[in-house]
Structure 1
Amino acid sequence: MHPMQTIAVRAARAAGQTIMRAYTELDRIEVSNKGINDYVTNVDKEAEAAITYQIRKSYPDHTIVGEEGGQNKGENKDYMWIIDPLDGTTNFVRGIPHFAVSIAVQYKGKTEVAVVYDPVRDELFTAVRGKGAKLNDFRLRVSKATDLNETVIGTGFPFKAKQHSETYMKLFAATFSQCGDLRRAGSAALDLAYVAAGRMDAFFEIGLKPWDIAAGDLLVREAGGTVTDLIGDHNYMTSGNIIAGTPKATVALLKSFRPLLSDALKR
């Protein structure tokens, strides 16, 4: 196993233990709002602290970027850990058992290691650049779907980017009219992991953050999928606008979306 993958897995499992201990006592969780439908809990912060502790033990000089802690700069800026300690906080707070820990490691801007851990199901999705993707010890491949009318497609509503709501609803309607079915589960990291595992055929969303995307992006690509932004470029880590899926499903979605995009989403 890649040395940094070993630490990422250890960190993800440590965070998962913190999360699941709290999940049995939801009435004791401290919840505050960062924005509309955007929650942070003491558990997010404790899980992020557990991840940071594991990373710092082995790599004290690496940079860490976390959803709750911001950027924790180290002396070695070539290595960056991008972490979401609890992706799907709204689900967690409501007792919906669908959330995950997401950890990615970049070297000079390229993602080398990815871990998405679902502590409820004890499912560990991992990838190393050039070495493929796995679920626990089983190799992952994206589905073989070739036609949109056969597909199940994941998405997420842009509640943090409501200025794009009108355009998003056009994309949603166009997709719904062509695909087999749509899913909105509430964790982009798990949605991308599910695409890598062939459970869903594609995924799209607007306005995500790097910690939502970084690990799932590598999982999909190492499982044979394609990841782009809404116009077919590779600017999704910056824009937060993403399409990921089987190569043919991704191309079909890009073609369907192109005439519907607002000028703001064409950049």
Structure 2
Amino acid sequence: MDLDHARAVAVEAAEAAGALLRAGAPGSLGVRAKGGSGDVVTDLDLASEKLLLERILTAYPSHRVIAEESGLAGAAESEWTWLVDPLDGTNNLAIGLPAYVVGLALCRAGLPVVGVVHDPVTCRTWSAIRDRGAVASPGTRLAAAYSASPHGPLLAWTQGYAVTRDDARVRALKSALDLNARRVLQLWAPLLAWAMLARGDIDGIVGYRAEAVDLPAGALLAREAGIEIRSLDGGPFEEAIDGTEDDRSFVAAHPRALPALLSLLRRGPGVSR
């Protein structure tokens, strides 16, 4: 398997989808409810996903694809699986907030080996190949930055759509962050937060039961830029597509910043339970 070619296919597909989103964003979006958690889907989500599926399955007809809106496609038993997030940040786009991206990941045996994130608003693309680093197109190497502020870290928070308002652990985690961080961003576009972390724009991300379709691409991008990712208790973490929602709770930061961030989280009552 030529991973350089897979990345090229993914970058070209994501950028084509981004052009579609950018052209359609000023018009009527066809917004409608998705599920019972307050999430929405638009005509642009579906159009972007259709384009991405066509590009991927044309290049790799023997691969499996899991797309956010349409689910499983391609060869169900393949060892290679593509994850497709055609519009990460749909709720933002629906209210006119220009904070959304396109995300693709290629996984082998459940672990991402290629990750791509494209921002249609700024026309920037970031990509990574496992064990070979992360780059910003057209090839600038990404390297995680470390900075310590006396006012606390600048963090992003993400959670899965199934997480309820009365989840006690969420309240404890958010309380610890609000009390000790300089600022906590809730972008509702996790892949955008991962790209910001890989670029050094923010100091860390805390995720709770994150969505499976967008986690691998962003986590691979950040890891290959030098970010360390741990579970909430400080143990090892893998950005695998298998496992439960609890397996997708994490803390991500520069290795030098991670101990302080884990300590910060433990200051919230009930976090350790």
Settle same-fold status: TM greater than 0.5. yes
Per mean C-alpha deviation after superposition, the further-off stretch among 218-227 and 72-81 is: 72-81
Say if 2:249 is the partner of 1:246: no
- From 234, 239, 260, the equivalent of 2:237 is 234
CA distance in 2, matches of 1:194, 1:51: 23
* CA distance in structure 1 between the partners assigned to 2:183 and 2:128 by the alignment: 28
Offset of residue 160 of structure 1? 2.8
Contact 1:147 1:249 in 2 (8 A): no
Displacement of 1:49 = 0.9
Percent identity over the alignment is: 27
CA distance in 2, matches of 1:83, 1:159: 17
Q: Which residue of the partner structure matches residue 186 of structure 1? A: 188
Which ranges in structure 1 are unaligned for 5 or more consecutive residues? none
State the match for 1:206 in structure 2. Answer: 208
Change (3 A) 1:164 1:251: farther
SS of 1:35's partner is coil
Q: CA deviation at 1:119?
A: 0.3
CA distances 1:48-98 after superposition (whole Å, capped 9, x unpaired)? 111010011110010001111112241661111011110100001111000
Q: Equivalents in 1 of 2:64, 2:166: separation in Å?
A: 32
The total of aligned residue pairs comes to: 264
Q: Deviations over 1:90-147 (max 9, x none)?
A: 0011110000001010122221110000101111011111111112232111121256
- 1:255 aligns to 2:270 (yes or no): no
Whether the 8 Å CA contact 1:84–1:101 is kept in 2: the answer is yes
Report how far residue 30 of structure 1 moved: 4.0
2:174 and 2:29 map into 1 onto residues whose CA distance is 37
Give the equivalent residue in structure 2 for 1:104: 105
Unaligned runs of 5+ in 2: none
* Aligned AA (1:101): V
- Change in Cα spacing, 1:261 to 1:55, as seen in structure 2 (3 Å) is farther
The farther-off stretch of 212-221 and 160-169 is: 160-169
CA distance in 2, matches of 1:22, 1:34: 24
Letter in 1 for 2:41: V
Write the distance in 2 (CA, Å) between the matches of 1:248 and 1:146: 10
TM-score between both structures, scaled by the size of structure 2: 0.88
Alignment of 1:1-267 (within 5 A): 2-25=4-27, 27-74=28-75, 77-136=78-137, 137-146=139-148, 149-156=151-158, 159-162=161-164, 165-231=167-233, 232-234=235-237, 237=240, 238=243, 239=245, 240-258=248-266, 260=268
Distance 2:250 2:150 in 1: 17
User: SS at 2:121's partner residue?
Assistant: coil
1:164–1:224 Cα change, 3 Å: farther
CA root-mean-square deviation:
2.3
Check 1:148–1:118 CA distance in 2 against 1; reply closer, same or farther (3 A cut). farther
